């Protein structure tokens, strides 16, 4: 499911890859990084496939839906401080 107004053609590609619950458009963060590498991805599932974005929660003041850990990182990307925080290895 994409977000936003489809008449905004300049960002339609980003809309298509952005999951609801992300703090900003997917692909606007560091090249090659994913949400699974981000310190803001919290409430991770036991199978390490999805999690909830804490930056989204801070900005919206509510918890958003789970997003795929393999989603391209957004502009709010912050690297995990420990390797155990990163969840894209599986």
Q: Name the more confident of 81 and 58.
A: 58
**pLDDT tens readout for residues 45-63:** 666 688 999 999 999 999 9
Beta strands in the chain, from DSSP E residues, in sequence order: 41-42, 50-53, 67-68
- pLDDT for 5 beyond 60: no
Tokens at residue 53, please? 């974005």
Can you read off the two tokens belonging to residue 22? Answer: 């992300």
Question: Which residue blocks in the chain are alpha helix, DSSP H?
Answer: 12-17, 54-60
47's CB contacts (< 8 A; 6+ apart) are 90
Instruction: Say yes or no to pLDDT of 85 above 60.
Output: no
């Amino acid at each position: 499911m994409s977000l936003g107004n489809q008449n905004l053609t300049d960002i339609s590609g980003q809309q298509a890859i952005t999951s609801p619950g992300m703090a900003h458009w997917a692909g606007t963060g560091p090249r090659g990084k994913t949400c699974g590498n981000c310190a803001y991805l919290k409430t991770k599932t036991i199978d390490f496939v999805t999690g909830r974005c804490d930056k989204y929660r801070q900005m919206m003041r509510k918890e958003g839906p789970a997003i795929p850990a393999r989603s391209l990182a957004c502009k709010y990307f912050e690297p995990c401080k420990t390797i155990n925080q990163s969840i894209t290895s599986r």
